[in-house]
């Protein structure tokens, strides 16, 4: 059953919480995704089968949560995640971050390392606004961004184009995690598809090289795309969670 939380910033967020025992699992979704997606539902079933606490939620401007997506930026969604974890979980959690959610998970881990039991990144996309989005803009897009504060790009995941705002790009610069030391004092597992054209394997390798962890592993899956939602991909995700030393 969907419940709602009002954050300290006044944003009303939708969430679904499953009770259980042991370290909880928190799913952090991607850019424009929501808590009803394939991976979120799969993790829900995994948690129920294993008797583990599980939390999935929608960032502001996403899914069933209030707010306009175009008003949001990385910092807002990071604040949403912090509020959810602090209000709806107890003790150390396993953070599972998909795409942008991987960046959010790293921000949470940097802010609340004592509340993180382990981190699993699925095509994690730290610093994507700065390293992937902004460099890809054409001169025409840069001019449009300067003039209107937004641009539109086609999306293979939706009939509607992606709208990228100037605030998203500029606010993201204050949330970068790959420009300074990144200490992750817990197990880290990174899952990455070799055929991911949205967040290429080079991003996973950069994160793998940059972060410091006593137990970090990167699994590169040949042929897997950015969705990482094929049955064999989900089976690998479950296996990864089953084998975490938490």
Please check the confidence at residue 133 and state whether its pLDDT lies above 90: yes
Alpha-carbon torsion, ordered 15, 128, 245, 83, to 10 deg = -30
In this prediction, residue 142 has a pLDDT band, given cuts at 50, 70 and 90, of very high
Residues 6+ apart with CB under 8 A from 201: 192, 193, 194, 220
Q: Percent of the chain scored above 70 by pLDDT?
A: 100
What is residue 19's predicted lDDT score, i.e. its pLDDT? 97
What is residue 155's predicted lDDT score, i.e. its pLDDT? 79
Half-sphere exposure of residue 59, counting CA atoms within 13 Å on the CB side? 27
Please spell the DSSP secondary structure of 17-51, one letter per residue: EE--SSSEEEEE--TT--TTSHHHHHHHHHHHHHT
Please check the confidence at residue 157 and state whether its pLDDT lies above 80: no
Q: Identify the active-site residue in 60, 65, 99, 213.
A: 99
Residue indicated by tokens 């990167």:
218
Please check the confidence at residue 11 and state whether its pLDDT lies above 90: yes
Residues 6+ apart with CB under 8 A from 23: 52, 53, 91, 92, 93, 94, 117, 118, 246
Give the pLDDT confidence of 34-66 residue by residue, as tens digits. Answer: 999 999 999 999 999 999 999 999 999 999 999
What is residue 159's predicted lDDT score, i.e. its pLDDT? 82
The three-state secondary structure class of 203 is helix
DSSP for residue 131: I
Give the pLDDT confidence of 159-207 residue by residue, as tens digits. Answer: 888 899 999 999 999 999 999 999 999 999 999 999 999 999 999 999 9
Q: What average pLDDT does the chain have? A: 97
Whether the Cβ atoms of residue 77 and residue 102 lie closer than 8 Å to each other: no
Whether the Cβ atoms of residue 193 and residue 219 lie closer than 8 Å to each other: no
Please check the confidence at residue 158 and state whether its pLDDT lies above 80: no
- Tell me the C-alpha distance between 170 and 168, whole Å: 6
In order of their start, the domains of the chain are 3-127+179-242 (3.40.50.1820)
pTM over 0.85: yes
What is residue 44's predicted lDDT score, i.e. its pLDDT? 98
Largest CA distance in the chain: 53
Q: Is 196 assigned a catalytic role?
A: yes
- Tell me the C-alpha distance between 137 and 142, whole Å: 6
What is the number of other CB atoms lying within 10 angstroms of the CB of residue 49?
Answer: 9
Please check the confidence at residue 154 and state whether its pLDDT lies above 90: no
Q: Identify the active-site residue in 58, 80, 196, 198.
A: 196
């Amino acid at each position: 059953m969907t419940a709602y939380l009002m954050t300290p910033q006044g944003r009303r967020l939708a969430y679904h919480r499953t009770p259980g025992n042991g370290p909880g699992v928190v799913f952090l979704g991607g850019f424009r995704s929501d808590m009803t997606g394939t991976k979120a539902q799969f993790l829900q079933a995994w948690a129920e089968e294993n008797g583990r606490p599980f939390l999935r939620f929608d960032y502001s401007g996403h899914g069933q949560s209030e707010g306009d997506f175009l008003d949001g930026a990385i910092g807002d969604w990071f604040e949403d995640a912090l509020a959810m974890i602090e209000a709806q979980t107890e003790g150390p959690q396993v953070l599972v971050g998909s795409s942008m959610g991987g960046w959010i998970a790293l921000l949470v881990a940097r802010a609340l390392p004592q509340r993180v039991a382990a981190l699993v990144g699925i095509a994690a996309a730290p610093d994507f606004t700065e390293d992937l989005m902004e460099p890809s803009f054409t001169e025409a897009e840069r001019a449009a961004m300067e003039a209107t504060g937004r641009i539109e790009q086609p999306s293979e995941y939706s009939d509607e184009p992606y709208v990228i705002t100037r605030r998203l790009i500029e606010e993201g610069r204050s949330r970068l995690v790959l420009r300074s030391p990144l200490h992750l004092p817990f197990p880290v597992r990174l899952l990455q598809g070799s055929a991911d054209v949205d967040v290429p394997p080079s991003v996973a390798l950069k994160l793998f090289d940059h972060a410091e962890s006593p137990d970090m592993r990167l699994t590169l899956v040949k042929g897997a795309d950015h969705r990482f939602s094929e049955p064999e991909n989900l089976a690998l995700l479950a296996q990864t969670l089953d084998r975490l030393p938490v």
